[in-house]
Amino acid sequence: MSNAVKIEMAELRMVQLPLLTPFVISTGTMTHKTFPLLILRGDGIEGVAEAVMDPLPDYLEESTAGALDLLRGAFLPKLIGQSITSPADVTGLLAPWRGNRMAKAVVEMAVWDLWAKSLNLPLCRLLGGVRDQVEVGVSLGIAPLDDTLKRIDVAQEAGYRRIKLKIARGHDLGILAGVRARFPDIKLTVDANTDYALSDLSTLQKMDQFDLDYIEQPLAFDDIFDHAKVQKALRTAICLDESIRSAKDARVALEIGATRVINIKVGRVGGFAEARAIHDVCAAFDAPVWCGGMLESGVGRAHNIHLATMANFTKPGDTSSASRYFERDIIHEPLEAVDGLMPVPKGPGIGVTLDYDRLTEVSEVIETWQA
């Protein structure tokens, strides 16, 4: 695997796709998925990736405006013209700059796709993946109980492997009681997206009665320490999402008992190298991981599916069928789960191809580079 691929061209776009259903979580409501899309070209092939930050910094600190600034002003000028022998080269190129893991991830992920295509291998093969389909569940936004029950019915009918409910203070125990009354046996989890504080410990403890597989990110986005206090007071496992940006974060969180499960999002942690390092740390602690999502288009969705083929992704992920999110995606291939199993797209790289007719309708070119 000692070939090199030269980054000859780059195209940075902003895409805006309407969501079929507004997505409501504790921090706000999303009606559109708006994201930077990076296309790299070299040796007649194309590598693509999408970035996962929101327009405003309401999930983590990064914003699309900040990311575009860095990509245009620093990251891409450094990348263009480079001959890449492995995606690890990119990690080195971006190492001088702190944080901004989502902006770094889009570059690293596009290079992985390009590199895998240059070797004519599916990305999952290069990651050491062990399966050709991945177990998936659904993440359901905050909604009244009757709507939530209907959505669970639809998901159950489709065969999804677990239901994750978004919760918030005041929209928690009542919803859980109503859902458990109708669905006593389904695999159920909740995601608070940071809405609780240590002073809410008694509410969190009451969730023990609902036989949840885990409670995702109850406390602040930048907290690890206090999650350990919550974990010690609960029978239910804590799962960290926002708090885990790196393998070091994962190691610290597992060492102090702040979490028993980790949600890995390759776009949150800086790319596949860090995602793999987190996966390996968790395996060493016997902690399972699962692949989260950020309502990605088919491009990010395909990256996520390849990631989830790795051995320690033993809990169902959030990478459900693209048709649940969008009327028309920006790729040609349908990414549809069958009976809760999402097939890994075949073909080199991430295994999906951009639908430029659609892309033209829903995006604008921000800047292009030529070596």
Distance CA 143, CA 160 (A): 19
Distance CA 30, CA 54 (A): 10
Candidate residues 42, 218, 271, 293; the one interacting with ligand OSB per rule CB under 6 A: 293
The residue (of 76 and 167) whose beta carbon lies closer to ligand OSB is: 167
315 is catalytic: no
Stretch touching ligand OSB by CB under 6 A, among 86-94, 101-109, 289-297, 340-348: 289-297
Q: Which one of the listed residues 33, 117, 164, 265 is annotated catalytic?
A: 265
* Residue 14: closest CA among 39, 40, 43: 39
Beta bridge partners of 13: 37, 365
Structure token digits, residue 127? 């990651």
> Phi and psi for 14 in degrees, rounded to 5?
-110, 130
265 is catalytic: yes
Binding partner of residue 295 among ligand OSB, Mg ion, none, CB cut-off 5 to 8 Å per kind: ligand OSB
- Please name the helix (run of DSSP H) or strand (run of DSSP E) that holds residue 37, with its range, or none: strand 28-42
User: Taking CB under 6 A as the rule, which mask of x and - marks residues 2-41 in contact with ligand OSB?
Assistant: ----------------------------------------
Candidate residues 62, 191, 195, 249; the one interacting with ligand OSB per rule CB under 6 A: 191
The residue (of 113 and 318) whose beta carbon lies closer to ligand OSB is: 318
Q: Which one of the listed residues 33, 104, 164, 166 is annotated catalytic?
A: 166
Candidate residues 172, 241, 249, 274; the one interacting with ligand OSB per rule CB under 6 A: 241
Is residue 62 near ligand OSB by the rule CB under 6 A? no
Is-contact 254 285, C-beta < 8 A?
yes
Q: How far is the CB of 245 from Mg ion (least distance, A)?
A: 13
The residue (of 38 and 52) whose beta carbon lies closer to ligand OSB is: 52
DSSP 313-363: B-S-BS---GGGT-SS-SBSS----BTTEEEPPPSSBTS--B-HHHHHHHE
* Residue 244: closest CA among 277, 203, 206: 277
User: Taking CB under 6 A as the rule, which mask of x and - marks residues 75-114 in contact with ligand OSB?
Assistant: ----------------------------------------
Distance CA 310, CA 308 (A): 5
Cα torsion 304, 316, 280, 299 to 10°: value is: 0
The residue type at 66: G
- Please list every residue from 300 through 329 that binds ligand OSB, using CB under 6 A: 318
Distance CA 346, CA 301 (A): 14
Q: How far is the CB of 350 from Mg ion (least distance, A)?
A: 23
The residue (of 102 and 124) whose beta carbon lies closer to ligand OSB is: 102
Binding partner of residue 108 among Mg ion, ligand OSB, none, CB cut-off 5 to 8 Å per kind: none
Binding partner of residue 294 among Mg ion, ligand OSB, none, CB cut-off 5 to 8 Å per kind: ligand OSB
Taking each helix axis from N to C terminus, what angle separates 173-182 and 145-158, rounded to the nearest 10 degrees? 50
Q: How far is the CB of 62 from Mg ion (least distance, A)?
A: 16
The contacts of residue 209 (CB under 8 Å, 6+ apart) are: none
Is residue 193 near ligand OSB by the rule CB under 6 A? yes
- Chain contacts with ligand OSB (rule: CB under 6 A): 59, 139, 191, 193, 241, 292-295, 318
Give me the active site residues, please: 166, 265
